[in-house]
Amino acid sequence: MEEIKKPKKPLIYYYCIALALLLLFNFILMPFMMRRQIRQVDYSTFMSMIEEKKIGQVEIQDNQILFTDKDGSAIYKTGLVYDPTLTERLYEAGAAFSGEIMEETSPFLNMLLYWILPTVIFIGIGQYMYKKLLKKAGGGGDFMSFGMGKSNAKVYVKSSDGIKFCDVAGEDEAKENLTEIVDYLHNPEKYKEIGASMPKGILLVGPPGTGKTMLAKAVAGEAGVPFFSMSGSEFVEMFVGMGASKVRDLFKQAKEKAPCIVFIDEIDAIGKKRDGQLGGNDEREQTLNQLLTEMDGFEGNTGVIILAATNRPESLDPALTRPGRFDRRVPVELPDLKGREEILKVHARKIKVSEDVDFSQIARMASGASGAELANIVNEAALRAVRDGRRFATQADLEESIEVVIAGYQKKNAILTDQEKRIVAYHEIGHALVAAKQNNSAPVQKITIVPRTSGALGYTMQVEEGNHYLMSKEEIENKIATYTGGRAAEEIVFGSVTTGASNDIEQATKLARAMITRYGMSRDFDMVAMETVNNQYLGGDTSLVCSSEMQAQIDKQVIELVRKQHEKAATILLENRQKLDELSMFLYDKETITGEEFMDILNK
């Protein structure tokens, strides 16, 4: 896709330039030119010129005297001095100083010359330039007042390097869904014949960075039609009614260019539920109303397809999502293992990688990463290769860049004391050992105690084998036990605890809470929801929907659950105390060990 039209500059832009030029002319150039014409002299020069009879005309004003030389070729001015015999001496010198001496232009003429005429000229130039630009952009001559109601949508047309479906890896269901749209745009007659009409709007929902924008562009690229792109927030202006006028303009342009695709990114910026509260956002509501009206206004078969993306579908106004408007919803989820591998391969095509890179291994390590994060991982690997002076990126580059994306860069000059290093080593082995000893936990991939810029002093990277769609109660419990394993090791070996477990505590609590309030895994509450999820795709914040007595009970159960797993972790470590020491000392010496090395020592 290639952007062909930059947002047009509003008319007010050209008027501002004209005004600036006008002010420059009047306040800087004009006085400068005037100053050159009238020369300032002192009174004694004036007197001596009278004496030598070199004076032509004289005009005595309130605060100064203007005079010319005999042939009138130069004008002078001097200050006013008390001089009672001046008129007599002037008379004797033959100077003309009565009647219309200096040619004073009338105030009206002055204004006409200095203000109105230049203004008219500059406005004329401004208009001319604007019209010319409009013509060049192919936008025709009509414009709204000062261009503020223009949609400013970016327009892309088909180009040879346009994004196609093959550039969007994974997301097969979404692509399949959108293929129908492409087919319709290619061959609308087929659909019209049978009387089927295309959905007017398609809502792409999913977490950030999963390729929603890419998919919309790929639809346009595959169909070879123009693509209008605008973000929801661009509609909302300071003045009420401006956003609505932008919506009108966007649809007008789209209908002219049909068949085409209009893409509205982050539609929740205008499509939020209208709550009718006092002091609501009038501008946003008007914009939304206009959008609803426009979507009703055009027929299903005009060839304008509206795609919109959001990661907060639950906050959208029901009027927007009802059939007839955005009647199709295409989920664009985080990629699964296969999807991740494909995305990595797509992006690795853009860089040079060594042949032995195992993308499936990298994909397994980057569990939970979005498409954008995977693109970032590949790029980081390429950057790392350049930094090390290599010609292509290797498996190690990719693995390291996953860690960079997860935990930040290695902190080269962070110096841990010997004791701290020992504690961190035991802490990480604690996690890994508890994970490995519980059958259902994913195997350990790598353990490191090199400090990272994110603040982590070490971490244990676990790798999911295959895809997981469901998690059993035991699996979650084991996960909680693994989180508590680090702290348990510290307690057993050092008899005291450190701040190092803060993140583990947060994660363990979150899981335990979800088990009780959302997954119905507590016997006391049966299948009753105590919490609801607010933003499914944005971190999954929750809010409690129960009485305060219930909350107190929930808190107690969460504590109980975590304590039980903590004790379980401690038991596992105590039973394997010798392995714990052995592994920790090995990690302490080597700083980074692989899952294989870990398992070797464990199974020895």
* Active centre residues (catalytic): 428
Smaller CB distance to ligand ADP: residue 332 or 512?
A: 332
| CB 402, min distance to ligand ADP, A | 16
| Cα distance between residue 538 and residue 501, in whole Å | 25
DSSP string, 549-568: HHHHHHHHHHHHHHHHHHHH
Return the residues of window 374-403 that contact ligand ADP according to CB under 6 A. Answer: 375
| Cα distance between residue 459 and residue 431, in whole Å | 9
| CB 273, min distance to ligand ADP, A | 22
DSSP string, 21-79: HHHHIIIIIHHHHHHHHEEE--HHHHHHHHHTT-EEEEEE-SSEEEEEETTS--EEEEE
In the Cβ-directed half-sphere of 400, how many Cα atoms lie within 13 Å? 17
How many residues line the site for ligand ADP (CB under 6 A)? 17
Length of the chain (residues)? 604
Query: Does residue 147 bind ligand ADP (CB under 6 A)?
Result: no
Query: Does residue 309 bind ligand ADP (CB under 6 A)?
Result: yes
- The arrangement of strands across the sheet holding 459-462 comes to 459-462, 444-448, 592-594
As a whole number of angstroms, the longest Cα–Cα distance in the chain is: 129
Query: Does residue 171 bind ligand ADP (CB under 6 A)?
Result: yes
Options 149, 209, 232, 303; binder of ligand ADP; rule CB under 6 A: 209
Q: Contact region for ligand ADP (CB under 6 A) — 54-62, 206-214, 232-240, 417-425?
A: 206-214
Residues 6+ apart with CB under 8 A from 527: 520
Smaller CB distance to ligand ADP: residue 170 or 313?
A: 170
Return the residues of window 427-456 that contact ligand ADP according to CB under 6 A. Answer: none
| CB 213, min distance to ligand ADP, A | 3
Smaller CB distance to ligand ADP: residue 168 or 580?
A: 168
Distance, C-alpha 15 to centroid of its chain: 32
Smaller CB distance to ligand ADP: residue 23 or 538?
A: 538
Query: Does residue 169 bind ligand ADP (CB under 6 A)?
Result: yes
At position 391, the amino acid (one-letter code) is R
| β-bridge partners, 156 | 3, 227
Smaller CB distance to ligand ADP: residue 173 or 555?
A: 173
- Reduced to 3 states (helix: H, G, I; strand: E, B; else coil), residue 261 is strand
| Cα distance between residue 136 and residue 99, in whole Å | 58
What letters, b where the CB count within 10 A reaches 16 and e where it falls short, cover 469-506? eeeeeeebbbbbbbbbbbbbbbbbbeeeeeebbeebee
| CB 536, min distance to ligand ADP, A | 14
Query: Does residue 214 bind ligand ADP (CB under 6 A)?
Result: yes
C-beta nearest to ligand ADP: residue: 371
Distance, C-alpha 6 to centroid of its chain: 19
Options 212, 272, 364, 421; binder of ligand ADP; rule CB under 6 A: 212
x/- site string to ligand ADP, residues 315 to 354, per CB under 6 A? Answer: ----------------------------x--x--------
| CB 211, min distance to ligand ADP, A | 3
503: tokens are 């993140």
| CB 311, min distance to ligand ADP, A | 7
Query: Does residue 366 bind ligand ADP (CB under 6 A)?
Result: no
Query: Does residue 168 bind ligand ADP (CB under 6 A)?
Result: yes
Query: Does residue 208 bind ligand ADP (CB under 6 A)?
Result: yes
Options 126, 162, 170, 451; binder of ligand ADP; rule CB under 6 A: 170
| Cα distance between residue 91 and residue 75, in whole Å | 19
Q: Contact region for ligand ADP (CB under 6 A) — 110-118, 138-146, 207-215, 253-261?
A: 207-215
Q: Can you give the binding site for ligand ADP, defined by CB under 6 A?
A: 168-171, 208-214, 309, 343, 346, 371-372, 375
